[in-house]
Amino acid sequence: MSLNITSLSKKYNDFFAIDNVSLNISKPGIYGLLGTNGAGKTTLMGMILGLILPTNGVIKIFGEEFSHKRSDILKKLNYESPYLDLPKKLTVKQNLIFYSRMYGVKEFLERIHDLSNKLKINDLLDRQFGSLSAGQKTRVGICKSLVNNPKILLLDEPTASLDPDTSIFIRNFLKKYQKLNKTIILIASHNMHEVEKICNRIIILNKGKIVLEGIPKVILENKKLNNLEQLFLKLSN
């Protein structure tokens, strides 16, 4: 189980959204992809998912080059972002069944029931998705992203605009899920506090380049800083 990126770039006219990025993730864990808005986080995730074609470079997932084994690889990946809505007029259950069937999940009703219990959305299953609050939609979206039991899970700002209690619930759920299932979870975020609370390792992007990578506590100790917010201020100067 691995995600290997070598010399990856994405150029739009004269602008590099991603500029010669190399990254090797070979162990299960929760990884934070940190950067301010426009740093290249979403572009990088889009290329990992095959939604954006690289200008240069190679992406290998599970040891296979993505461009050669796209269909097989995508069956073992999943993605979630609060900025992507599910069909609003379908019920939560109908949406979850649709995505389960799309991934070819066997015994999908049992899988949905199990995840719904853990994410505390049982009481939402018969409601239309469009009627839910932001926090409820986030929990449903996380559920949808796990129906195929992905080996690699990509989350783009998973707790954006959520209240503190819901953010804590999502963080705790993801930590327990990752530990139990030995998943690689890559979280794109600009929320320093959240990343410090949940991630085993961080990758910091700035202007499309990786400028720092490592264990949060070790990085802060080496830089003699108290938190990641101070680190970001130092890197931006």
Question: Would you say residue 171 has pLDDT above 80?
Answer: yes
139's enclosing H/E stretch is: helix 134-146
Q: Which tens digits make up the pLDDT trace of 116-127? A: 999 999 999 999
Q: Which tens digits make up the pLDDT trace of 147-167? A: 999 999 999 988 887 888 989
Q: What is the dihedral of CA 220, 224, 230, 232, to 10 degrees?
A: -60
Q: Which tens digits make up the pLDDT trace of 99-118? A: 999 999 999 999 999 999 99
Query: In whole angstroms, what is the distance from residue 122 CA to residue 115 CA?
Result: 9
Query: In whole angstroms, what is the distance from residue 53 CA to residue 22 CA?
Result: 16
Mean residue pLDDT across the chain? 91
Give pLDDT, residue 236.
66
- The mean per-residue pLDDT over the stretch 207-222 comes to 88
Strand order in the sheet with 15-25: 15-25, 3-12, 56-61, 64-65
Which range, 1-5, 33-37, 56-60, 226-230, has the best average confidence (pLDDT)?
56-60
Q: Which tens digits make up the pLDDT trace of 173-196? A: 999 999 999 999 999 987 777 788
Give pLDDT, residue 237.
66
Q: Which tens digits make up the pLDDT trace of 13-62? A: 999 999 999 999 999 999 999 888 888 999 999 999 999 999 999 999 99
Please compute Rg for the chain using Cα positions: 18
- Distance between alpha carbon 140 and the CA centroid of its chain, in Å? 15
Query: In whole angstroms, what is the distance from residue 20 CA to residue 190 CA?
Result: 21
Which range, 28-37, 67-76, 110-119, 223-232, has the best average confidence (pLDDT)?
110-119
Whole-model pTM? 0.92
DSSP assignment letter at 85: P
Q: SS3 helix, strand, coil % of the chain, rounded to 5?
A: 40, 25, 30
Residue spans of the domains in the chain: they are: 82-149
